[in-house]
Amino acid sequence: MTPFCFVVATVPLALYFLALGCLRRRPKPFVVDGRRDFIALCLALSGVFFVGPGSILPPFGAMVVWRASVWVLCGLLCFCVVVLVSSLRRPRIVAYNATREQTRAALSRVAISLDDEARWAGSSLNLPSLGVQFYLDDAGWGRVATLVGFGPERSPQGWLRLEKELRREFDAVEPTRRRGWLLFAALGWGTLLADAAVWACFYREISDAFRFYLSV
């Protein structure tokens, strides 16, 4: 891997690790829509895609006509594809800094206030009046719980209301001190320091590569 590819591939990952560190440092659980979480992950991997398959994406004819602007167009195209894929996936709600037991208890309280007909079936919760049905998945690494929707009835308004009420429920919990964020902060800052060291050692080579991609 060339120094240019290393810097391009790892800078978005470093920023993603720092963002995760900020989320993990929060004293209360943080709820985010699954589509946004997926888009953030794809943006973190955008540098890896650029130095890999993305390096052969722009056709030669477009590069001749549009020159450096072709990378902007390809970036917008890839972003639109990511947004499209995220909209086609099952609806999800991701809760950071929340254990499975903590999330299940919060969901039980929220379900009672939203739907009198709410019923648990193992790890699945059905809210028929809200048009929402999901199962609780805690397969993620660390204190991360994910609500994954399933079934034919999927109400976008119901999911938005559930996300809003779950966020309000978590805001009412007692704050606790977090330590797991140190790992992500160390990964983020360590990667940025490595990028800075590579940039300092191979400044001319990396600058020439940037000028090449901007002048094609």
User: Is residue 127 helix, strand or coil?
Assistant: strand
Give the residue extent of every domain in the chain.
Answer: 1-28+35-89+178-216, 90-176
Q: CB–CB of 162/132 below 8 Å?
A: yes
**pTM for the predicted model, two decimal places:** 0.83
Q: State the Cα–Cα distance between residues 182 and 186, nearest whole angstrom.
A: 6
Alpha helix (H) residue ranges in 2-135: 3-25, 34-44, 46-51, 60-66, 69-88, 100-114
Tell me the CATH number for domain 90-176.
3.30.310
| pLDDT, tens digit only, all 216 positions of the chain | 788 889 989 999 999 999 999 988 888 899 999 999 999 999 999 888 888 766 666 655 566 666 667 777 778 888 999 999 998 888 999 999 888 888 888 998 998 888 888 888 888 999 888 888 999 886 556 688 899 988 776 788 888 999 999 999 988 877 777 777 888 999 999 999 999 999 999 989 988 888 877 765
- Cα–Cα separations (whole angstroms), residue 106 to 12, 83, 103, 121: 33, 29, 5, 16
Q: What is the pLDDT of residue 140?
A: 57
Q: What is the pLDDT of residue 32?
A: 92
